């Protein structure tokens, strides 16, 4: 199985900050990477797929980049609604696997 490792596990930031979350795959997954946002008690929400393509309706302050094994999710200017847990997920081959999550909390 391809292992996905996110860093950091917890990130403290303030409204207006620019933040970056990193995801590393244990082997090359090309651009087959998605990012999700999950709030407590809710289902995950797809933000980005194809490593950098924004899902419809997702604010443009979210962006993704990377390929092969190293990927990043960037939020350009944090808004109050962005404090949540973020997961990366590869879909290069079965089985699909997720990162362990990054908890983005208010500083």
Binders in 57-86 for another protein, by CB under 8 A: none
Copy the structure tokens of residue 91.
């879909």
Owner of token pair 């990162």: 99
Q: Which among 12-20, 61-69, 70-78, 90-98 is the span making contact with another protein, rule CB under 8 A?
A: 90-98
Kindly indicate which of the ranges 16-24, 40-48, 63-71, 74-82 contains the residues binding another protein, using the contact rule CB under 8 A.
Answer: 40-48
Q: Is 97 in the site for another protein (CB under 8 A)?
A: yes
40 forms part of the interface with another protein (CB under 8 A): no
Running DSSP on this structure, what letter comes out for residue 84?
A: S
d(CA 27, CA 80): 35
CB nearer another protein, residue 24 or residue 45 = 45
Partners of residue 106 on adjacent β-strands = 13
| 46 touching another protein, by CB under 8 A | yes
Are 13 and 21 in contact by the 8 Å Cβ rule? The answer is no
> Measured between alpha carbons, how far is 20 from 102 in angstroms, rounded to an integer?
10
Give the bridge partners for 71, in sequence order: 23, 66
Q: Which of 11, 17, 54, 55 binds another protein (CB under 8 A)?
A: 55
Residues at the interface with another protein (CB under 8 A): 1, 32, 34, 36, 42-46, 49, 55, 87, 89-91, 94-101
């Amino acid at each position: 199985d391809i292992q996905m490792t996110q860093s950091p596990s917890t990130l403290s930031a303030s409204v207006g900050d620019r933040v970056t979350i990193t995801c590393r795959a244990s082997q090359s997954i090309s651009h087959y990477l998605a990012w999700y946002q999950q709030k407590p008690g809710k289902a995950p929400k797809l933000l980005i797929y194809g490593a950098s393509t924004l899902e419809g309706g997702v604010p443009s302050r979210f962006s993704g980049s990377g390929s092969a094994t190293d990927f990043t999710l960037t939020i350009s200017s944090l808004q109050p609604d962005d404090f949540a847990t973020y997961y990366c997920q590869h879909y290069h081959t079965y089985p699909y696997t997720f990162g362990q999550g990054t908890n983005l909390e208010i500083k």
